[in-house]
Structure formats: structure tokens, C-alpha cells
Amino acid sequence: MKTAEKLAAGWLLTLGFMFLSISASAVMQKHDMQKEILPRWRPVAESLDISDQDFPNKPAMDVLNNTAFNGLIFGVPTSVLGVWLALGAYRESRQERKAIKAQAKDQLQSTFYRMIQENNGRITLVSFAMQSQLPPATARQYLDEQAKLFNANFKVSEEGGISYDFYI
């Protein structure tokens, strides 16, 4: 469903952009048609007695007006719907990422509490890293944060291993 929404949003945005581009092009062409064209050779215009008269091309102006109007009629709703679908998909994916992060945090916290209970408050860095499947640096940072939060002590063994003592 997510892929279909993304594809639909992309197609709607593309179509909306195309319609709006056609509309803008028609408006620019109409503007160019309304500009005054100065004759290069004045004597011919004077001899024909059509000096400053304007002869607008009404059928072409009508076609350009219709093209601009139709481009707006189809382009604006299509673009709005595409943006709405794209924003909905973005919000949904953002909520899913938050849910996944919250689930991982809850799982890490439950692993931490389970290990404290099983080991009578003593956790080693290596065992926590293995149980939580975290890299050692991340596991150490997490245990340091929890040690500060719960006023735990930590001990460094002669071999360099770190253990944390949490009082239950």
C-alpha cells in the first residue's frame, strides 16, 4: 500500500506540474500576442492607411484562454492531491520510524532490567553487549547513563573488564 501511495503521489505531482506548465505557457503566449508589433517600413503602412490599427487574432486568443483555464482547472486539484498524498506518506513513515525506535528502546530497557534481576544487580559490559546485541561503545554509553540515573557503582577488573553494581 505504501508503494502504491508513493507512486500515486508521484504521478499526480507530475501531472499537476505538466498541467500548470501548459497553463503558464499559454498565459505567456497570450501576453506575447498582445504586444504591439512595430512595422519596419513606415511608408508601406502609410500608403495602405492602416497606420495604428490593431488586428488581434481572436480565435488564437480564445484558444490560449481556454488552454490556460483548463490547465488551472486540472493542474491545481491534481497537484494538491499529489502533495496531500506525499505528505501523508511522509507522516506515516515518520510515525513508523518513531514506533521502531520506541520498540528498540523498550526492548533494550527490558533486557537491562532482566539482567539486573538475574545477576543480583551486577552487569558486565561484555554480557550486556552480548545480550542486547549492541556494539561495545554503545552498550558502555547506555550502561554509563543508567549508572548515573540509578547511582550505581562500577568496577574495573585487573583484566580491564567493567562491571556495574546496581542496588536492588
- For the entire predicted model, the pTM comes to 0.60
Verify that 10 and 81 share a domain, yes or no.
Answer: yes
Each of the 168 residues of the chain gets a pLDDT tens digit; together they read 688 899 999 999 999 999 999 999 999 998 888 776 666 655 555 555 554 456 778 888 899 999 999 999 999 999 999 999 999 999 999 999 999 999 999 999 999 999 999 988 889 888 899 999 999 899 989 998 998 998 888 788 777 778 888 887
First CA to last CA across the chain, in angstroms? 48
Q: Is residue 63 part of a domain?
A: yes
Task: CATH number of the domain at 155, please.
Answer: 1.10.10
Instruction: Say which residues have a Cβ less than 8 Å from residue 33's Cβ, sequence separation at least 6.
Output: 56, 57, 60, 61, 64
Q: Is residue 11 part of a domain?
A: yes
Q: Name residue 6's amino acid.
A: K
Verify that 89 and 150 share a domain, yes or no.
Answer: no
Verify that 79 and 154 share a domain, yes or no.
Answer: no
pLDDT value for 43: 56
Verify that 28 and 74 share a domain, yes or no.
Answer: yes
Verify that 67 and 124 share a domain, yes or no.
Answer: no
Query: Which residue has 508521484 as its cell numbers?
Result: 10
Q: Is residue 107 part of a domain?
A: no
Q: Is residue 111 part of a domain?
A: no
Q: Is residue 85 part of a domain?
A: yes
Q: Is residue 110 part of a domain?
A: no
Q: State the Cα–Cα distance between residues 70 and 65, nearest whole angstrom.
A: 9
Number of domains in the chain: 2
pLDDT value for 67: 93
Domain extent at residue 147: 119-168
Verify that 58 and 17 share a domain, yes or no.
Answer: yes
Verify that 45 and 81 share a domain, yes or no.
Answer: yes
Q: Is residue 108 part of a domain?
A: no
Judging by beta carbons within 10 Å of its beta carbon (0-12, 13-18, 19+), is residue 147 exposed, middle or buried?
Answer: middle
